[in-house]
């Protein structure tokens, strides 16, 4: 009897782009894809941070390069794909959070967060798909907050719920072209973005009460999920979310 064979998690011969890839979750995603064999291009605004990230990846023997781009600049994003594409794997980890009670939301904060978390994410996916003539995988780093609500996170939650919505619609539209579109939804991860929240004892206690595995997540907890969604191991997975939340949303 011939047994079925597990599809490969390897990404050799593929090109990957990671937006927001110079630090935090994005850097973890870039390192994971490169470790799995992909030629990886990381994108962010800071040339200094990009240089440090690329140097670290190359020191580990990875095939990595970078392009300095502000993902809210749609002309620059179009040029990025025109000049450096196509990519069979595109991960968007660019994001920002400006938390406040909903009653105190400032319009300028609303505009900044939606411009990066929602508008830029949407058009980055559109540009990526336009060049995926042989199919591909688009992965949005969303959040558990794209499935629930959170204290002082009305704007952030709104943007992530929006990402979940357009991901499903894009998956339906582009499926016949072999393009898969999914999200990874982490809980609180130890990064500079969450430092202020995790340093607040009251907020940390609330977080720990909700994460049923009993610990704050690390960047490494997201890396395997991204490789899975990028690889042939997830060939039949599209239009859905992979929750890396320690049981939070099951609560």
pLDDT of residue 194: 86
In a domain, 31, yes or no: yes
Work out how many domains the chain is built from and give that number. 1
Low-confidence ranges of the chain (pLDDT < 50): none
* pLDDT score for 146: 97
Active-site position among 62, 81, 118, 156 = 156
Residue 3 falls inside a structural domain: no
**What pLDDT score does 195 carry?**
86
Name, in order, each residue with C-beta under 8 angstroms of 15's C-beta and a sequence gap of 6 or more. Answer: 38, 39, 40, 41, 86, 87, 88, 89
Judge whether 248 lies within some domain: no
Residue 5 lies in a domain: no
CATH of the domain at 155: 3.40.50.720
Question: What whole-number distance in Å separates Cα of residue 106 and Cα of residue 201?
Answer: 26
Is 182 a member of any domain? yes
Threshold 0.95, pTM exceeds: yes
Residues 100-131 have pLDDT tens digits of 999 999 999 999 999 999 999 999 999 999 99
Q: Domain span at residue 234?
A: 15-243
Q: Is 156 considered catalytic here?
A: yes
Has residue 140 been placed in a domain? Answer: yes
Residue 75 belongs to a domain: yes
User: Within a domain: residue 249?
Assistant: no
């Amino acid at each position: 009897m011939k047994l079925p064979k597990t599809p490969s998690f390897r990404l050799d011969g593929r090109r990957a782009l990671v937006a927001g890839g110079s630090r935090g979750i994005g850097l973890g995603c870039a390192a994971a894809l490169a470790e799995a064999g992909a030629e990886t291009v990381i994108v962010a605004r800071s040339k200094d941070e990009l240089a440090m990230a690329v140097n670290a990846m190359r020191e580990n023997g990875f095939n990595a390069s970078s392009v300095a781009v502000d993902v809210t600049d749609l002309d620059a994003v179009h040029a990025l794909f025109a000049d450096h594409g196509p990519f069979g794997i595109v991960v968007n980890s660019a994001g920002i959070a400006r938390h406040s009670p909903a009653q105190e939301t400032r319009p300028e904060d609303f505009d900044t967060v939606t411009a990066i978390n929602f508008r830029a994410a949407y058009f980055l996916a559109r540009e990526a798909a336009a060049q995926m003539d042989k199919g591909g995988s688009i992965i949005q780093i969303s959040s558990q907050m794209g499935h629930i609500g959170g204290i002082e996170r009305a704007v952030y939650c709104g943007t992530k719920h929006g990402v979940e919505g357009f991901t499903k619609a894009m998956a339906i539209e582009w499926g016949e072209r072999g393009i898969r579109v999914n999200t990874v939804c982490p809980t609180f991860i130890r990064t500079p973005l969450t430092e202020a929240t995790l340093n607040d004892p009251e907020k940390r206690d609330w977080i720990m009460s909700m994460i049923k595995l009993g610990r704050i997540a690390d960047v490494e907890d997201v890396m395997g999920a991204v490789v899975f969604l990028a690889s042939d191991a997830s060939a039949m997975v599209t239009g859905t979310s992979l929750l890396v939340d320690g049981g939070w949303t099951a609560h």
